[in-house]
Amino acid sequence: FTGSVDTTKWRLDRRGGRRLEIHAKGMDTSSEVKQPSRRHWDDATLATVMDEAARACGLDGCAVHGDLAAVTRDWWAMDGESFVAFGHRLAADHGATFKVVGRRALLVPRGAGVSASGRDLAPVLATVGDKVLSVELAPDSGRPRYKAVKARHYDRAEARWKEVEAEVDTGGDDTVGATETLAHDRADADTAHSSARAEARDSERQKGGGPVEIDGDPTAVAGAPCILSGCRPGIDGMYEIATVKDTLDRRGGYVTRLDLVKPDAAVGKDARRTTKTP
């Protein structure tokens, strides 16, 4: 972990005695990364915009994955936003993950299983009876799923509102019938298409999942694949790691909690043949 101390809390109680708790974050929360700013860019790429915005608040730049780096808009703007808020907004619009690690920021496609440099993230192997401590998974969840996502934008050339639509891969599930419409209008067709596709991919990620606890694994990172095995048909398969939380204490030892999303096509299906009991 590389970051900065955010708060230190001193605690005294009968059970634990005297304790000093140190809370740290990947970025320096007292720096200019949280300072609102107003600026804009004309005809610039996403890589240029993010890198210049990062350096303006004192960071050493922003690494943008190659799939996103060349995205170009005729106008980008920070409208009274901090760099952190700006990064999260652009990440949401492009289906990406944004974070600040030490002195650099990162922007990578969500669910691609790659780092900002383009290297594949190492999968985590979670096998029941080997390193898995607990599993609580729902292979199929109806609430966050849609069959399509719509976004509206204003066409200045035709002087009228238009809608664009992105289809969601439901895996052949015909029971998914709802269409989501994004709440805020987009500035142009490119932005509308990008936002609709990002929301569609997010709906696919939220098809199912849940938490899995394993023996401490320092190599587990968000965005990497997790191969779960030894549970049962319909649960075993490949997932995407959404978040990772490492816990180390005297009572439970070193435990890594993985919040899993985006189950593969085999999850939720049981290929075993049914037999009738005589």
pLDDT given for residue 67 in this prediction: 87
Position 276 scores a pLDDT of 65
Residues 228 and 131: their CA atoms lie apart, in Å, by 11
pLDDT band at 278 (very low <50, low <70, confident <90, very high): low
What are the tens digits of pLDDT across the range 187-237? 889 899 999 999 998 888 888 899 999 999 999 998 899 999 999 888 999
CA nearest 111: which of 65, 162, 57, 69? 65
Distance, CA of 32 to CA of 138 (rounded, Å): 41
Render pLDDT for 143-171 as a digit per residue (tens, 0 to 9): 777 889 999 999 989 999 999 999 988 77
Per-residue confidence band for 141, with pLDDT thresholds at 50, 70 and 90: confident
This prediction has a pTM of 0.80
Distance CA 197, CA 185 (A): 15
3.60.15.10, 3.40.190.10, 3.40.50.720, 3.55.50.30: CATH of 32-109: 3.55.50.30
Domain 124-139+208-261 has CATH 2.40.30.150: yes
Q: Are strands 179-181 and 148-155 parallel, antiparallel or unpaired?
A: parallel
CA 56 to chain centre: 25
pLDDT tens column, 4-54: 898 999 999 988 789 898 888 888 888 899 999 999 999 999 999 999 999
Evaluated on CA atoms 78, 83, 87, 89, the torsion sign reads negative
Q: How many helices (H) and strands (E) does the chain have?
A: 4, 16
Q: What CA–CA distance (Å, rounded) separates 108 from 35?
A: 23
Calpha distance 212→138 (Å, rounded): 11
Residue 176: pLDDT over 80: no
Residue 270, pLDDT score? 72
* Amino acid code (one letter) for 82: S
Instruction: For residue 55, name the pLDDT band (cuts at 50, 70, 90).
Output: very high
CA distance 57 to 103: 11
Mean pLDDT of 243-254: 90
- 212, 262 in Cβ contact below 8 A? no
pLDDT score of 86: 96
C-alpha–C-alpha distance, residues 177 and 136, integer Å: 27
Task: Give residue limits of the domains in the chain.
Answer: 32-109, 124-139+208-261, 148-205
- Position 275 scores a pLDDT of 65
Spatial neighbors of 275 by CB under 8 A, at least 6 apart, are: none
Task: Give Cα separations from 4 to 55, 138, 233, 246 (angstroms).
Answer: 18, 36, 44, 17
* pLDDT mean across residues, the chain: 88
Angle at 38 between CA 4 and CA 81, to 5 degrees: 45
- Provide the CA 141 distance to its chain's centre, in angstroms: 18
